[in-house]
Amino acid sequence: MASHLPKSTTPIFVLCFFFLAFLTASARPVQRQLAGSRRPLREKTSHLHFYFHDIVSGRNPTAVNIVRPANISSAAGFGNVAMIDDPLTEGPELSSKLIGRAQGFYALDGQQETTLLMACTYVFLEGKYNGSTLSILGRNAPMHAVREMPVVGGSGLFRLARGYAVARTHQYDANTGDANVEYNVYVIHY
């Protein structure tokens, strides 16, 4: 194949090679700027464990319904949307150390089965994670014992985060609707 090419095209290939090599090299400082430091980026893996309290009952609910569908006969609750500011605690008790809050909303998007579209920012308030956030966007079928939701991004110490959250219901009160959910979150970040 190469033998059919005119001789004069060879320098173009060589130039392209050096141009690509230059682009690759010049991309690195941009990555360093993203990390806000001069050190090269190093990928880290973090495992976070906490309890999520979704309180819908009582005087101080942390989850409030903001959208109610016109047709309320769906047993799955299809069409409801709740805005949340749920406390995240270190231990299973609500009185244990507050380590963050899950803020955002969940929308009931299942017609056959109760499923939630979770669109939330988990902001951490403790120690080195104080002020850092993780964005969770995904499907949560709360009647299943174990659910998995994608972590699609983050900020602060969790810049460029990707990962997943595994949620297990620790306690659910069918009378009040209050739920206590254990979370294990695994993230890769810089």
Ligand X SMILES: *[C@@H]1O[C@H](CO)[C@@H](O)[C@H](O)[C@H]1NC(C)=O
Q: Give the binding site for ligand X (CB under 6 A).
A: 71, 73-74, 125-126, 130-131
> What's phi and psi for 153, nearest 5 deg?
175, -175
Nearest to 53 by CA among 87, 83, 84, 81: 87
User: Which letter does DSSP use for residue 178 in this model?
Assistant: -
Q: Which is nearer to ligand X, 132 or 179 (CB)?
A: 132
Closest distance between ligand X and the C-beta of residue 74, in Å? Answer: 5
Query: 125 or 160: whose CB is closer to ligand X?
Result: 125
CA distance 21 to 6: 24
Shortest Å distance, C-beta 18 to ligand X: 47
Closest CB to ligand X among 3 and 73?
73
Which residue, 32 or 68, has its beta carbon nearer to ligand X?
A: 68
Least distance to ligand X, CB of residue 67, Å: 16
**Number of Cβ within a 10 Å radius of residue 24:** 9
Name the minimum Å distance from CB 45 to ligand X: 24
Q: Which two tokens mark 133?
A: 């956030």
Burial class of residue 124 in the structure, from the number of CB atoms within 10 Å of its CB (0-12 exposed, 13-18 middle, 19+ buried): buried
Find, among 154, 155, 119, 157, the residue nearest to 139 by Cα. Answer: 119
Q: Which CB sits closer to ligand X, 31 or 130?
A: 130
34 phi and psi, to 5 degrees?
A: -60, -40
Read off the tokens for 67.
Answer: 């959208």
Smallest gap from residue 156 Cβ to ligand X (A): 11
Nearer to ligand X, 132 or 180 (CB): 132
Q: Min. distance of Cβ 75 from ligand X in angstroms?
A: 8
**In whole angstroms, what is the distance from residue 17 CA to residue 107 CA?**
50
